[in-house]
């Protein structure tokens, strides 16, 4: 009887330990109780502490003018708070002080609401769990594959769903089998 009680207690401790080691993204929109477009810089710092590295987020502007010519420029768009121990980056808009994106790397020890882990899944598994991606379509609520770059040097291929995006580093390649792309990060929008 004593052995059974010890095994039950060990099992409970293991369950408690494993639940702390893995954070589930609630509704694929909340991480540590924080949600993009709802929480501010102050809320992020109050909840997670001062142990972050802060960098500037620059917006690159390029456009064609109706009268001819084009424009180029950069402006400060906000800040990124990098919590290295959490494997998470929180992007905060300069004009509103609201967080607009959470970037989660494999070190974040998270799993999406449907079981996707950065570093352990590929786009095929994402599509199996979340439904098909319709590349090039832009209908409300439909996932899409796109290429993202914030500095025109580093590129990401993104499999986008409402509130959650699965990221693979590198440009989209013509004829590439996207199903084999590894999910390297998960971003919450």
> In this predicted model, what pLDDT tens digit does every residue of 52-94 receive, in sequence order?
999 999 876 666 566 666 666 677 789 999 999 999 999 999 9
**pLDDT score, position 86:** 95
Residue 163: left if φ>0, alpha if ψ -120 to 50, beta else—which one? left
115 belongs to a structural domain: yes
Give the C-alpha separation, 33 to 9, whole Å. 29
4 belongs to a structural domain: no
Domain that holds residue 102: 23-188
Average pLDDT, the chain: 82
CB 121 within 8 A of CB 145: no
47 belongs to a structural domain: yes
Q: What's the distance, CA 96 to chain centroid?
A: 20
CB 146 within 8 A of CB 88: no
Contacts of 35 (CB under 8 A, 6+ apart): 29, 99, 188
Q: In the Cβ-directed half-sphere of 69, how many Cα atoms lie within 13 Å?
A: 3
What total number of domains does the chain contain? 1
pLDDT digits (tens, 9 = 90+) for 121-177: 999 999 999 987 655 444 555 567 888 888 888 999 999 888 999 999 999 888 899
Query: How many angstroms separate the Cα of 80 from the Cα of each of 9, 55, 74, 174?
Result: 42, 5, 16, 32
Average pLDDT, stretch 21-34? Answer: 87
71 belongs to a structural domain: yes
Angle at 79 between CA 74 and CA 80, to 5 degrees: 120
9 belongs to a structural domain: no
5 belongs to a structural domain: no
């Amino acid at each position: 009887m004593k052995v059974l009680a010890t095994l039950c207690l060990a099992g409970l401790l293991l369950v408690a330990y494993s639940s702390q080691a893995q954070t589930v993204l609630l509704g694929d929109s909340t991480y540590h109780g924080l949600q993009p477009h709802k929480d501010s810089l102050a809320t992020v710092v109050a909840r997670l502490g001062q142990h972050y590295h802060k960098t500037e987020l620059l917006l690159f502007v390029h456009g064609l003018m109706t009268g001819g010519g084009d424009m180029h420029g950069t402006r400060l768009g906000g800040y990124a708070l990098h919590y290295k121990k959490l494997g998470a980056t929180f992007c905060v808009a300069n004009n509103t002080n609201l967080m607009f994106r959470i970037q989660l790397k494999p070190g974040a020890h998270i799993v999406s609401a449907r079981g996707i882990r950065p570093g352990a899944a590929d786009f095929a598994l994402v599509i199996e769990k979340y439904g098909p991606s319709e590349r090039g379509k832009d209908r409300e609520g439909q996932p899409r594959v796109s290429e993202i770059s914030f500095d025109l040097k580093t590129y990401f291929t993104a499999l986008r769903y409402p509130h959650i995006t699965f990221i693979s580093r590198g440009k989209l390649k013509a004829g590439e089998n996207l199903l084999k792309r590894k999910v390297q990060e998960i971003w919450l929008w």
